[in-house]
Amino acid sequence: MSEDTNKKNTNTTTARSGRYEFISVLRLLSLMGVVYYHTLVTLQLQGIRLKETIEPLHSNQNMNFPAIGVGLFLMLSGGGLMMSSKRKADFSVKDFYKGRFLRILIPFYISYIVYSIYLFLIGFEFPVYFESLTGVKPSPLCFIFTLLGMDGYLSIFNIPTFTLMLGEWFLGCLIPMYIVFPLLRKCILKHRNLTLIIATVYYIIALATYQYMPWHDVPSYNNFTIKIYDFIVGMFLVEVMDRIPKWTAAIGVALLGFYLIYPSKLPIDMTPSIVILAIGTFFIFLTLEGVFKKMPRFMKVVNVLSAYSYTYFLFHHIVIGQACIYANKHYDLSSNKNLLLLFAAQIVITSAVAVLVKFLSDLVYKAVKNAEKKKAESSK
């Protein structure tokens, strides 16, 4: 075997088993993009800023650019699971489900309890709120949706739930993806190209027939049946990223530039545009991996912040709503400067909450694991 071949195999092994810094950077940027967008939309919905002054800050006629962050987040979720599952000698479906849902649902439960206590203390009218979501008072049995982390997602299908909008629709959309991940993983490992081709054909057909589906009132970019493609693409990309040439970054730059400056409406919906631009962005940041590797201090900060991305995501929409109400009473939010200060304040507040929730979640998670360990030892 030649020296070049040995070097190539070493690089491939490192790429597949080692840490990719650009993924942490992308995850953090995606989250900040979503927070930025939700801040602007909240200002519009609360009547603080007019739609005409808000839209130019996040959209043009062809694209809502922060929405790329949602696509990237799903891609990175699929890709991250793919990489982490391959680091283990034996992949256990049972252990995967158990570990994943403990990590997802424990923070969600803690967030729900903490936020419910806060709302109770300020005199929030829970029955009125829950009924106002769909016009129907939810049955106590509907709390099962909350226990499954699906309440925010199902509420957009006009199903009565007890959602407090923690994790919004995104969490409930992501959970079914975790459920089908072991099957998708098996398909990717055995026939990755064929899996992507089948998924792409399905995606095209699903989009083309979406208007005829019973759930057509729900935007396609919020629907699991459509967004599962983003997840699969992420799984595929991490499998081949050590083979992706650097010149693909030029494709990413060209795509982003085209969507920014093209003067007319494109004959393509926003949903596939999100996937296209998310892939292009992935190519750009993959090429920058070497740059991030040379910035250990910067990456240390990024990796710490990325560790709190999930708990941050759970609460960010809540903090944004409350912060906008408070800021509108005390500051002039027609000023873009004050808008930026509001955005910064939201990041600080949500970060503090995210750290607290993760700390509490880790304590509960360790307690559960210790209890399981003692039980296993006692049964021997």
Query: For all residues of the chain together, what is the average pLDDT?
Result: 88
DSSP 295-355: -HHHHHHHHHHHHTHHHHHHHHHHHHHHHHHHHHHHS-TTSHHHHHHHHHHHHHHHHHHHH
DSSP structural state of residue 176:
H
What are 380's two structure tokens? 């021997």
pLDDT exceeds 50 at position 5: no
pLDDT exceeds 90 at position 76: yes
pLDDT, average across residues 73-102 = 88
pLDDT exceeds 80 at position 315: yes
Please give the pLDDT value at position 239: 94
Higher model confidence: residue 32 or residue 205? 205
Question: What pLDDT band is residue 336 in, cutting at 50, 70 and 90?
Answer: confident
Looking at the chain, the whole-number percentage of residues with pLDDT higher than 90 is 54
Please give the pLDDT value at position 13: 38
pLDDT exceeds 80 at position 1: no
Please give the pLDDT value at position 380: 67
Please give the pLDDT value at position 42: 86
Please give the pLDDT value at position 211: 92
pLDDT exceeds 60 at position 14: no
pLDDT in tens, 248-286: 999 999 999 999 999 888 888 889 999 999 999 999 999
What CA–CA distance (Å, rounded) separates 161 from 143?
7
Cα-based distances in Å from 121 to 114, 162, 163, 363: 11, 18, 18, 25
Question: Is 0.75 topped by the overall pTM?
Answer: yes
pLDDT, average across residues 106-134 = 92
**Residue linked to tokens 């709390």:** 143
Question: What pLDDT band is residue 232 in, cutting at 50, 70 and 90?
Answer: very high
Question: What pLDDT band is residue 41 in, cutting at 50, 70 and 90?
Answer: confident
What CA–CA distance (Å, rounded) separates 22 from 31?
14
pLDDT, average across residues 86-98 = 85
pLDDT, average across residues 226-253 = 95
Cα-based distances in Å from 285 to 135, 167, 240, 243, 282: 45, 26, 15, 15, 5
What CA–CA distance (Å, rounded) separates 55 from 25?
26
Question: What pLDDT band is residue 344 in, cutting at 50, 70 and 90?
Answer: confident
pLDDT, average across residues 122-126 = 91
pLDDT exceeds 70 at position 52: yes
Please give the pLDDT value at position 18: 55
DSSP structural state of residue 29:
H
Higher model confidence: residue 77 or residue 57? 77
Q: Would the CA dihedral through 269, 273, 274, 275 be positive or negative?
A: positive
Helix 67-87 and helix 224-240, axial crossing angle in degrees, nearest 10: 50
pLDDT exceeds 50 at position 3: no
pLDDT in tens, 136-152: 999 999 999 999 999 99
DSSP 231-294: HHHHHHHHHHGGG--TTHHHHHHHHHHHHHH--S--SS-HHHHHHHHHHHHHHHHHHTHHHHHT
pLDDT, average across residues 144-171 = 93
> Which of the residue ranges 8-12, 38-42, 266-270 would you say has the lowest mean pLDDT?
8-12
